[in-house]
């Protein structure tokens, strides 16, 4: 399964880099995915980790959120729409 994922990711990288030379895709999410994929692909290893891996002491220390879009809604009291 990992091999299939790596092949699909590699295909995406090659296609995106080829297509972006011809056409301005203007999609920021695809650009981010391409950059992320290029850095992630070499880090994926073929060997398996031990199934006994204990992650009970792992603690999330950083998480970043950013605002993509703000939308103001006109709501009336009582929750009824007119």
Query: What pLDDT, on the 0 to 100 scale, is given for residue 47?
Result: 66
What is the maximal distance between C-alpha atoms in the chain? Answer: 60
Mean pLDDT, consecutive 10-residue segments, the chain of 82 residues?
A: 86 90 82 88 72 77 78 71 51
- In the block, tokens 């995915």 appear at 33
| Cβ–Cβ under 8 Å, residues 34 and 12 | yes
Annotated domain spans of the chain: 1-43
Query: Could you say which DSSP state residue 77 is in?
Result: G
Backbone angles phi, psi at 80, to 5 degrees: -90, 140
């Amino acid at each position: 399964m990992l091999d299939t994922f790596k092949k699909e990711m590699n295909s995406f990288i090659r296609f995106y880099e080829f297509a972006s030379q011809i056409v301005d895709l203007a999609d920021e999410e695809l650009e981010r995915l391409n950059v992320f994929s290029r850095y992630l692909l070499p880090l994926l290893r073929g060997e398996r980790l031990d199934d006994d891996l204990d992650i009970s002491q792992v603690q999330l220390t950083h998480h970043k959120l950013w605002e993509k879009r703000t939308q103001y809604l006109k709501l009336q009291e009582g929750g009824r729409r007119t």
